[in-house]
Amino acid sequence: MLKTDNNMQLYKKGLFFVSLGGIGEIGANCYLYCCDGKWIMIDLGLSFADDRYPGIDLLVPKINFIDEIKNNLLAVIVSHGHEDHAGAVAYLADKINCPVYASSFAKILIENRLKEFGKSDSIDLIELNPTTNLSIDEFNLNFIDTTHSIPQPHAIVIETKYGNLLHTADWKIDDEPTLGNHFKKNDFIKIGNNGILALIGDSTNADVPGFSLSENKVKKELSQVFSRYINRIVVTCFSSNIARIINIVHAAKKNNRKIALIGRSMKKNIEAAIKANLIKDTNIFISEEEASLIPKENLVIICTGSQGEKRSALYRIAYNSHKNIQLETDDVVIFSSRDIPGNEKTIDALKNLLIRQRIEIITADDDLVHVSGPWLC
Ligand SMILES: [Zn+2]
- Statement: residue 196 has pLDDT above 80: yes
d(CA 282, CA 245): 12
Ligand 1 centroid to 329 CA: how many Å? 36
d(CA 109, CA 43): 14
* Neighbour tally for 12: CB within 10 Å: 11
Q: Give the pLDDT band (50/70/90) at residue 377.
A: very low
Q: Length of the chain, please?
A: 377
* Neighbour tally for 357: CB within 10 Å: 14
- Statement: residue 142 has pLDDT above 70: yes
> For position 204, what pLDDT does the model report?
73
Question: Is the four-CA dihedral 45, 110, 237, 264 of positive or negative sign?
Answer: positive
- Mind listing the pLDDT tens digit for each residue in 16-39? 999 998 887 778 899 999 999 999
Q: Give the pLDDT band (50/70/90) at residue 376.
A: very low
Ligand 1 centroid to 150 CA: how many Å? 7
Ligand 1 centroid to 94 CA: how many Å? 24
Ligand 1 centroid to 246 CA: how many Å? 17
Ligand 1 centroid to 322 CA: how many Å? 30
> For position 9, what pLDDT does the model report?
82
Cα–Cα separations (whole angstroms), residue 179 to 172, 248, 255, 258, 266: 13, 13, 21, 21, 18
The stretch 51-60 carries a mean pLDDT of: 82
Half-sphere exposure of 319 (CA within 13 A, CB side): 12
Ligand 1 centroid to 310 CA: how many Å? 24
d(CA 90, CA 110): 7
Residues above pLDDT 70, as percent of the chain? 97
Cα–Cα separations (whole angstroms), residue 144 to 39, 367, 368: 21, 33, 29
Ligand 1 centroid to 169 CA: how many Å? 8
- Statement: residue 375 has pLDDT above 50: no
- Statement: residue 356 has pLDDT above 80: yes
Ligand 1 centroid to 133 CA: how many Å? 22
Ligand 1 centroid to 352 CA: how many Å? 30
Ligand 1 centroid to 231 CA: how many Å? 33
Ligand 1 centroid to 245 CA: how many Å? 15
Ligand 1 centroid to 105 CA: how many Å? 13
Ligand 1 centroid to 80 CA: how many Å? 7
Ligand 1 centroid to 172 CA: how many Å? 10
Residues above pLDDT 90, as percent of the chain? 71
Q: Phi and psi of 128, rounded to 5°?
A: -80, 135
Contacts of 194 (CB under 8 A, 6+ apart): 164
- Statement: residue 63 has pLDDT above 90: no
Q: DSSP state, 182?
A: P
Ligand 1 centroid to 86 CA: how many Å? 9
Q: In what order do the strands lie in the sheet with 73-77?
A: 15-21, 30-35, 38-42, 73-77, 100-102, 125-127
Q: Give the pLDDT band (50/70/90) at residue 350.
A: very high
d(CA 169, CA 29): 9
- Statement: residue 248 has pLDDT above 90: yes
- Mind listing the pLDDT tens digit for each residue in 329-343? 999 999 999 888 888
Ligand 1 centroid to 79 CA: how many Å? 9
> For position 7, what pLDDT does the model report?
67
The stretch 204-232 carries a mean pLDDT of: 90
Ligand 1 centroid to 193 CA: how many Å? 27
* Mean pLDDT over each residue of the chain, to the nearest integer: 91
Ligand 1 centroid to 290 CA: how many Å? 33
Ligand 1 centroid to 151 CA: how many Å? 10
d(CA 224, CA 287): 25
Ligand 1 centroid to 85 CA: how many Å? 7
Which of 159, 117, 170, 155 lies closest to 136 in space, CA to CA?
159
Ligand 1 centroid to 26 CA: how many Å? 11
Ligand 1 centroid to 82 CA: how many Å? 5
CB 42 within 8 A of CB 33: yes
- Statement: residue 51 has pLDDT above 80: no
The stretch 129-158 carries a mean pLDDT of: 94
Ligand 1 centroid to 212 CA: how many Å? 15
- Mind listing the pLDDT tens digit for each residue in 262-304? 999 999 999 999 999 999 989 999 999 999 999 999 999 999 9
Q: Give the pLDDT band (50/70/90) at residue 149.
A: confident
- Mind listing the pLDDT tens digit for each residue in 84-140? 999 999 999 999 999 999 999 999 999 999 999 999 889 999 999 999 999 999 999
Contacts of 279 (CB under 8 A, 6+ apart): 242, 245, 246, 249, 270, 273
d(CA 154, CA 143): 6
Ligand 1 centroid to 152 CA: how many Å? 10
> Whole-prediction pTM value?
0.88
